[in-house]
Structure 1
Amino acid sequence: MSHTPAATTLLTGTPDQLRTAAAQAIDTARTGMAAFVARAGGLPAVEAVELYDEARAALDNAQHVSTLIRQAHPDPELRAAAEATEQLIVQAGTAFTLDPAVYAALAALDLSGVDDPTRHLVTRALRDMRLLGVDRDEETRERIRELHGRLVGLGQAFGRNIAADTREAALDPAALAGLPADYVAAHPPGPDGRVTVTTNYPDLVPFLTYATDSAARESLWRLNRRRGHPANVAVLDDLLAGRHELATLLGFGTWADYVTANKMIGSELAAAGFVADVSAMAADRADRDVATLLERKRVDDPAAGEIRPWDIGYLTDRVRSERFAFDSRTVRPFFEYERVKAGLMAVAGRMFGIEFRARPDVPVWHPDVETFDVYEDGALLGRIRLDMFPRADKFSHAAMYRIVTGKRGVRTPECVLLCNFPRPAAEPALMQPSDVVTFFHEFGHLLHHVFCGQVRWSVNSGMAIERDFIEAPSQLLEEWVRDPATLATFATHQDTGAPIDAETVARMRAAEEFGKGLDVRQQMFYAALSLELHGGPDVDAVAVERASAERHLPYRYVEDPTMHLSFGHLDGYSAFVYTYMWSLVIAKDLMTAFDPANLLDPARAARYRAAVLAPGASAPAADLVRDLLGREFTFDAYRRWLDA
């Protein structure tokens, strides 16, 4: 196999090149799908599926490139072109999914002699086509096509408004009290004597964690909450209304019920029940967490009667420092970015028998981007890129984006991590422990994409699996950050070179456990918000945010309800943000397949890779889990974790 050079060319090319390539991809897909419809009846099923798979792959890979450019490219003209090409590609894909002739050709295939991945591909494709409305009349299908195109544009606008809205607080230098020395050095006073702190993660998270000035924390917290306001008010209203119309056209009462129909969980009712059950499961622990935080707040302010959300990061860090003898500032020198990056790659190499070879010769869209080829036993498995530091108009959170979907003997998979970590400069780039967890999490997605690049069918790639399973492999890899033996392989002090000791890791892990009840309730607020915003027509988003917060957050809600306007997951995840906790339940169970005394054991890692990662979406997620565990997944491991 070889790389797809067109992807690199487009990522570093011009708007015209991108538009031309998108048009060519659409034409290739249309030609291929027409050949599938015309010839499927006279071909063996596997040969017919090859035509279908390649037609879909032409569109999918073109869309991956456009999506990435839209989210990460520094050139505004190219981002605008990518937004337009992405819409055209999605429209072409929707047209295939709504084409009765394509559906009939798939349905007529004789699957009696095919393998299970091929049968699953066809069965899943037919189900998804019905869910999109292929069996509706032409007038309805035309309206569905219109709605899909409109919804893609609205989703893009929603995310773009968030990415473009980095806010700044001009503060007195005294507001940096409590921040680490490297943070203070990176924020010198300007000509007006004020320091500028932004809502970018490398600024925001340490400030909310360490700044002793409560009023300054509140100021920055409120600024961050208002990102996307007011630009996203009308955008979200239109997005929710369009989704509801599409769902009702397809026979569903709500978008939430529609969008969960092809997930593991199956329905809006089941998702709402899961959210309520998990929130109740965590209630007592969350209340204890809040009581502990309030007790600590009263050390500084004896008259304090409640905690506020801008207190939580700071007070949690103080409790972890004082009760568990763990101060996250003291371990940051063990987590210098370059060492963490090299260490994570070494851990993956040790577990899975792979190596990462730097490719500085490969053109990139920004000087920050690094490229690596992934090899196993001398054979090329895939190519990864790392775009890890914040900049204007770039995706502002952390995620893995596909570039090329792999296919055995045809295409090598490619992907990129878009993150926002501290940038190495004159001073070392020291990461928060939570940053390291995020790095491992996103690397879990990356490994999933690379390892499933040998599947028989491109449309059975890992990210095509049920969306409420996708986070499980990445959440699983977070466990290695909590393992002393793993951390000892790369977490060395920037000044002394000494590796982090097991006692420190044990304190870090014990401290991390504090607050998990509160964290779970916070996640259930997000999950409920996403479900309930999509729960019917004419939703009052402000009222939904307030009600969801009051039901799940164990502290008083802050009026000024604009958080939903900066909630980027409402685009990609829409109503199923519950997936993060659902996947965590599965990830905790998957962890039982590993030896806690030797998490780096290559034999167990190989078994996990073969059963769960390598198949991609060649089988239902529940089947993959069963293949690894030898049983259905349960809540037992999750309950033990929550109750510990």
Structure 2
Amino acid sequence: MEQTNTLNPLLQAYNTPFDVPPFGSITHEHYLPAFEEGMKEQSKNIEAITSQQAPPSFANTMEALEKSGKLLRNVSTVFFNLTSANTTPELEEISRQIAPVLAKHADDIYLNAALFARIKALYERQDALELRGEQRKLLEKTYKDFVRNGANLDAAKQERLREINKNLSLLTVRFGQHLLAETNHYELLITNQKDLAGLPASLIEAAALSAKEAGREGWRFTLHNASVMPFLQYADQRHLRKEIYQAYINRCNHDDERDNKEIVTQLVALRAEKAALLGYASHAHLILEENMAKTPAKANELLQQLWTAALPVARQEAKEMQALMDREGKGEQLEAWDWFYYADKVRKEKYNYDAEALRPYFKLDNVREGLFFVAKKLYGLSFHPLKDVPVYHGEVSAYEVKDENKQLTGILYLDFHPRSSKRGGAWMTSYRKQSLNESGRVAPVISIVCNFSRPTGTQPALLTPDEAETFFHEAGHALHGLLSDVTYETLSGTAVPRDFVELPSQVMEHWAFEPEVLEQYAKHYETGEIIPASMVEKMKAATKFNQGFATVEYLAAALLDMSYHTLAPGKTIVPLLFEKEEMDKIGLIPQIAPRYRSTYFQHIFAGGYSAGYYSYIWSEVLDSDAFAAFKEAGDIFDAATATSFRKNILEKGGTEEPMQLYTAFRKREPDVKYLLQHRGLE
């Protein structure tokens, strides 16, 4: 072990530019020893806190606890980021091994009676401690975290809680691994060129390249969004649309080694039992207590209000598509695998708008520069490419982010394209969170990970407008991490309630298609021509089209999440039967499936959003209202408004209650009318 530790790069000072992880030196053999050493070190640190004779103080207990486990956090951060963005069979095996060990280690901390006694003593006399605001928040959060993790339970209940946490840790790992394997397993291989009818040339070229890389003849389409979604939108061959759509919505639902149904059943039951142990009516009550919504009833109130507005719009959209199908005279009825295809046809008919025709104006490199332009105008940030910084994959690029005074703000990694080692979707994460130490501000290391369309042999990476918007979304999260300016890592950056964390990301989406921004980056990749104003007008006119569908499929998933997680303990469910009953109950039309069905709902079963998927629409109330502040100022780059948003929200992390932060920015609580206007649901 000693020799391993000496040679293990995870256990040494990184000695890299900006102290980023030395990715090139780390091998899978390093992780388990590093995890073991990290847990051992944190246990020693906590022993030092609990064994001291001095009475508890904020410094000797709270700040000491905050500093404990730094090594473990570093190891965990690198490992779990790579299992999402660049996994291997070896890393997946380590995940399965380490999950229950880490769960036990966390329980050993939260259920440490001596440690909790010191924290509780401070919490009960906090008014006498004369704490600064951030100190008070750290104490309050830590105390509640211990209580919510079983510190007040008796010994028998704590033992059962440990068993539940161990099982939950294993189940969530298995769920995510099954989904990645299933997504990588499926392929639709086309060998007859006639079956490519309707598909854009860029997609055909990408499919040919995918087939070649997989050692196949023909054209290969997969369940990665950059492949399956445009196929559903453009493929003329209805039977092929049906085949790939059904494969997509039945992921991990084939009663095989990648099936997730039993995992869902167990996760839901264990979460309900854990909530009951801790004294809550349901898992959702446990989770939402610390969110802005506070209760499932409050979250459901918003979801139902929007459902009532959106469902009739979706039904009308279905009627319009059916009318178009009737005019084609094939005698076909609109099915779920037809929606994307006929929505595109109706959109073209109503607005003379073709999203595919916009791709040449959304070259990925240009969209990135447009995003940097917005960050510069709003917050004075500049982005400088780094050549000698370690990265975890050859496709990843790194940037030094500086403020208006040329001082280091943070490091940003960008990782854009799908690969079999990367899970689906798009996300922001960090390799180091911002904090303060004796030397001053510790600069964060932030990463944006996406699954955008790849370059082909003849074209650079060209994005759809939706992909461009996604990039702006994740950049909003990144700015939340980069601009954080707090003392304690626990409260840094995106360490905010789940239904507040999407505000900084979603508000950034509003800038993506503003004319002042488009003229900076939306340039034809061949001619350099700025996107014509007529195209922009068509795009804006079409943005409210199909919003019934977009809102309904999202709300259906959010309501399904809440239904699962408001189940009482002891109630056993059959996932897909339960899903159907819940969707029938709310009147979901058969041509629309929830955005995520149970067996591939990674957000809630493997991604930290359990009882929290409603957060996106909750935050949309905030972001629509927040962007209206810029509009009301008469300038989307209004300096005073941008400064207020930065100072009151982006810099503050989780140091204050979210509504206090928001009202400090807006001088009032948010108004839902701006969301309804934005979605065209008024």
Contact kept? 1:226, 1:562, Cα under 8 Å:
no
Displacement of 1:444: 1.0
Cα distance in 2, alignment partners of residues 559 and 489 from structure 1: 38
**Residue of structure 1 equivalent to 2:188:** 169
2:207 maps to 1:187: yes
Q: Is the 8 A contact 1:546 1:561 kept in 2?
A: no
Does residue 643 (structure 1) correspond to residue 681 (structure 2)? The answer is yes
- Matched AA of 2:320: T
Does the residue aligned with 2:512 lie in a helix, a strand or coil?
helix
Given candidates 154, 165, 173, the residue that maps to 2:171 is: 154
Q: Distance in 2 between matches of 1:633 and 1:39?
A: 48
Does structure 1 conserve the Cα–Cα contact (< 8 Å) formed by 2:427 and 2:450? yes
> Once structures 1 and 2 are overlaid, which stretch shifts more, 90-99 or 518-527?
90-99
Structure 1 position 291, deviation (Å): 2.2
8 Å contact 1:308–1:555 — kept in the other structure?
no
Which position in structure 1 is the counterpart of 2:337? 310
Partner Cα separation in structure 2 for residue 310 and residue 580 of structure 1? 25
Task: Measure how far apart 1:449 and its partner are.
Answer: 1.1
CA contact (8 A) 1:488 1:501 kept: no
Q: Which whole-Å CA distance do the structure 2 matches of 1:357 and 1:562 have between them?
A: 38
> Which of these residues, 574, 579, 586, is aligned with residue 622 of structure 2?
586
Asked if the contact 1:62–1:89 (Cα under 8 Å) also holds between the matched residues in 2, the reply is no
- Answer yes or no: is the 8 Å Cα contact 1:70–1:83 preserved in 2: no
Within the candidate set 220, 237, 249, 1:196 is matched to: 220
**Equivalent AA in structure 1 for residue 619 of structure 2:** S
Aligned to 1:344: 371
SS in 2 for 1:299: helix
Corresponding residue number in structure 2 for 1:522: 553
What does residue range 503-518 of structure 1 map to in structure 2 within 5 Å? 503-518=534-549
Give the letter aligned to residue 93 of structure 2: A
In the other structure, the counterpart of 2:400 is 373
Q: Deviations along 1:553-599, whole A, 9 cap, x unmatched?
A: 65226899993111211222122211111111111121222136532
Equivalent position of 1:456 in the other structure: 487
Tell me the residue number matched to 2:105: 92
User: Does the aligned pair in 2 maintain the 1:403–1:416 contact within 8 Å?
Assistant: yes
Residue identity in the other structure for 2:412: I
Shift of 1:464: 2.0
Q: Encode CA deviations 1:175-218: one digit per residue, 9 max, x unaligned.
A: 32222212122233879864221111111111112222222111
- Aligned runs of 1:65-104 on 2, under 5 Å? 65-85=78-98, 87-104=100-117
Instruction: State the alpha-carbon separation in 1 of the partners of residues 90 and 74 from structure 2.
Output: 21
1:474-553 superposed matches below 5 A: 474-534=505-565, 535-536=567-568, 537-552=571-586
Structure 1 38/486 Cα, relative in aligned 2: closer, same or farther at 3 Å?
farther
Match of 1:72, as an amino acid? A
Q: CA deviation at 1:542?
A: 1.2
The counterpart of 1:24, out of the listed 14, 33, 37, is: 37
Q: Does residue 622 in structure 1 map to residue 655 in structure 2?
A: no
The C-alpha deviation readout for 1:407-466, integer Å capped at 9, x for no partner, is: 0225321121221111224222211111111111111111111111x3111100233211
Contact kept? 1:264, 1:468, Cα under 8 Å: yes
CA distance in 1 between partners of 2:596 and 2:317 (Å):
26
Closer, same or farther: CA 192–58 of 1 in aligned 2, 3 Å: closer
TM-score (norm. length: structure 1): 0.93
1:325-372 deviation line (CA, Å, top 9, x unaligned): 211011110011122122212221222111112122122222111111
- The letter for the 2-side match of 1:582 is W
Percent identical across equivalent pairs? 26
Map 1:387-466 onto structure 2 (within 5 A).
387-408=415-436, 409=440, 411-426=442-457, 427-452=459-484, 454-466=485-497
Measured in 1, the distance between the counterparts of 2:194 and 2:143 equals 62
For 1:116, the aligned partner's letter is G
User: Cα offset for 1:503?
Assistant: 3.0
- Report how far residue 13 of structure 1 moved: 0.7
Q: Deviations over 1:49-70 (max 9, x none)?
A: 3212112655444332221121
AA at the equivalent of 1:594: F
Establish whether residue 106 from structure 1 lines up as the match of residue 137 from structure 2: no
Between 422-431 and 555-564, report the one with greater CA deviation. Answer: 555-564
Deviations, residues 484-508 of structure 1 (Å, cap 9, x unaligned): 1111111101122111133322221
Which structure 1 segments of 5+ residues have no match? Answer: none
Which residue of structure 2 aligns with residue 263 of structure 1?
291
Q: Which residue of 2 aligns with 1:633?
A: 670
Question: What code does the residue aligned with 2:188 have?
Answer: A
Rate the CA distance shift 1:18–1:125 in 2: closer, same or farther, 3 A: same
Relative to the length of structure 2, the TM-score reads: 0.88
Letter of the 1:152 partner, please give it. S
CA distance 1:314–1:561, change in 2 (3 Å): closer
Letter in 2 for 1:463: T
Tell me the CA shift for residue 46 of structure 1. Answer: 4.8
- Say if 1:35 and 1:51, in contact at 8 Å, map to a contact too: no
Q: Could you say which residue in structure 1 is the equivalent of 2:6? A: none
Structure 2 residues without counterparts, runs of 5 or longer? 1-13
Residue 136 (str. 1) matches residue 164 (str. 2): no
The 3-state SS of whatever aligns with 2:116 is: helix
State yes or no: 1:126 paired with 2:162: no
CA separation in 2, counterparts of 1:303 and 1:72?
A: 45
* 1:350/1:600 contact within 8 Å kept: yes
1-structure distance, mates of 2:644, 2:275: 40
Asked whether the equivalents of residues 8 and 363 of structure 1 are also in contact (C-alpha less than 8 Å), the reply is: yes
- In structure 1, the residue matched to 2:10 is none
Partners in 1 of 2:101 and 2:33 — Cα distance? Answer: 12
- Counterparts of 1:507 and 1:39, CA distance in 2: 69
| Alignment correspondent of 1:565 | 599
Distance 2:616 2:17 in 1: 32
Aligned pairs, how many?
642
After TM superposition, the structure 1 = structure 2 runs for residues 38-57 of structure 1, keeping only pairs within 5 Å, are 38=51, 42=55, 44-46=57-59, 48-55=61-68, 57=70
Contact 1:549 1:557 survives alignment (8 Å): no
Distance 1:38 1:193, change over 3 A: closer
Structure 2: distance between partners of 1:328 and 1:101: 61
- CA-to-aligned-CA distance 1:88-125 (integer Å, 9 cap, x gap): 33432332222232222122225341111211111122
Of 236-245 and 612-621, the range deviating more from structure 2: 236-245
Q: CA distance change for structure 1 residues 558 and 86 in 2, over 3 Å: closer, same or farther?
A: same
C-alpha contact (below 8 Å) 2:361/2:522 kept by paired residues: yes
Distance 1:529 1:23 in 2: 39
Partner of 2:443: helix, strand, or coil?
A: coil
The SS at the match of 1:544 is helix
2:498 maps to a residue whose letter is: R
One-letter amino acid matched to 1:578:
Y
User: Which amino acid in the other structure matches residue 638 of structure 2?
Assistant: D
Contact kept? 1:525, 1:553, Cα under 8 Å: no
CA 1:334–1:432: 2 relative to 1, 3 Å: same
- Change in Cα spacing, 1:351 to 1:39, as seen in structure 2 (3 Å) is farther
Structure 1 residues 74, 248: CA separation in 2 closer, same or farther (over 3 Å shift)? closer
Query: Superposition RMSD on alpha carbons, in Å?
Result: 2.6
CA distance in 1, matches of 2:547, 2:674: 15
CA distance in 2, matches of 1:19, 1:446: 29
Q: Secondary structure at the match of 1:401?
A: strand
Change (3 A) 1:179 1:550: same
Name the SS of the counterpart of 1:424 in structure 2.
coil
Change (3 A) 1:631 1:12: farther
Q: In the superposition, relative to structure 1, how do residues 622 and 413 fare at CA in structure 2: closer, same or farther (>3 Å)? A: same
Contact 2:366 2:521 in 1 (8 A): yes
Check 1:162–1:461 CA distance in 2 against 1; reply closer, same or farther (3 A cut).
same
Report the CA distance between 1:48 and its aligned residue: 4.0
